[in-house]
Amino acid sequence: MTENTVGSKLIALKERSGLSLDNIAKAAGYSRASSIQRYFSEDYDVKWLPRSLADRLIEALVGFGDPEIVKHDIEYLTEYGFMMDRRSPMPLSPHMFQRRIRDELECNSTYPSRMYLGEAELFDIAADPIQVFQRPEHLARRPIEAIYISTLSMSPRYRPGELVIYERERPAAPGQDVIVTTQSGDQSDREEGFIAIFVGRSKTEAEFAVLNPSATFSVPLSEISEIIPVLTTLDLLAPKYTQHA
């Protein structure tokens, strides 16, 4: 096992806990093991464990295992975990640290899958970026990503080949354009999804709308991984001053 990747460290915590991946997923608020399978892999090689995922794994894993897993074991994998090696007179907490500064914005391609979820055409998101942009300084600490659209479900608002920037870990509000990532039925590590307008959600379903052809449809929450808001031009601009009339 490659011991230096975040994925290999998560595998070690899983084995230490004695829990199945399915049990961990459900305790963390996911519907099935495939929702988190890609994280518990030696190939999951990122610098930091995402904060939102860490919080869920803390709920699922703390208190299990021999020796018993503690919150520190998971916090150590996050972006401020390196500080935990230092002596501190008070417990460390997330608000004490800033997000890691990123000066690049990676953009991945997508490929139409010719399959639909509701009325939206699904696409596969390529694992590796095909283009890298200079990230604006005021967005250096925000978890934004970009993809090229390859489907027609939201045309003419988003045409194939158009660049879309979105922000993970930010809740989507009704009326926003969103990237919806779905549970891959083949249990693979690939990420698939669609672009739509977020209408709202109930306890069991989320409702979306698309433009081409115009339609509204619902998707069971059990088939959805994330609902991620697309950033508008106004979201991406750095405010300097506001002139009042």
DSSP 29: T
Q: Provide the 10 A C-beta neighbour count for residue 50.
A: 17
Q: Tens of pLDDT along 213-224?
A: 999 999 999 899
Mean pLDDT of 8-18: 93
pLDDT recorded at residue 242: 59
**Domain ranges, ordered by start, for the chain:** 6-96, 104-234
pTM over 0.85: no
Distance CA 95, CA 55 (A): 14
Mean pLDDT of 109-136: 90
Mean pLDDT of 27-36: 83
Q: How confident is the model at residue 235 (pLDDT cuts 50, 70, 90)?
A: confident
Mean pLDDT of 169-194: 81
Average pLDDT over the chain reads 85
Can you identify the CATH homologous superfamily of domain 104-234? Umud Fragment, subunit A (2.10.109.10)
Determine the longest span between alpha carbons in the chain, in angstroms. Answer: 65
Range list of β-strands (E), the chain: 104-117, 120-134, 144-148, 163-167, 177-182, 191-201, 205-211, 214-220, 224-229
Handedness of CA 81, 84, 88, 92 (dihedral sign): positive
Tokens at residue 85, please?
A: 């090696």
Q: What angle do CA 106, 39, 236 make, to 5 degrees?
A: 30
Q: Tens of pLDDT along 124-159?
A: 998 888 999 988 888 887 888 999 999 999 999 999
Tokens at residue 124, please?
A: 């596969």
Between 167 and 87, the higher pLDDT residue: 167
Distance CA 45, CA 8 (A): 9
pLDDT recorded at residue 107: 93
Distance CA 9, CA 40 (A): 8
pLDDT recorded at residue 237: 86
Q: Hey, what long-range contacts does 193-196 have (CB within 8 A, 24 or more apart)?
A: 193/122, 193/123, 193/125, 194/117, 194/120, 194/121, 194/122, 194/123, 194/151, 194/153, 195/120, 195/149, 195/151, 195/153, 195/154, 195/158, 195/164, 195/230, 196/120, 196/153, 196/154
Amino acid at 178: V
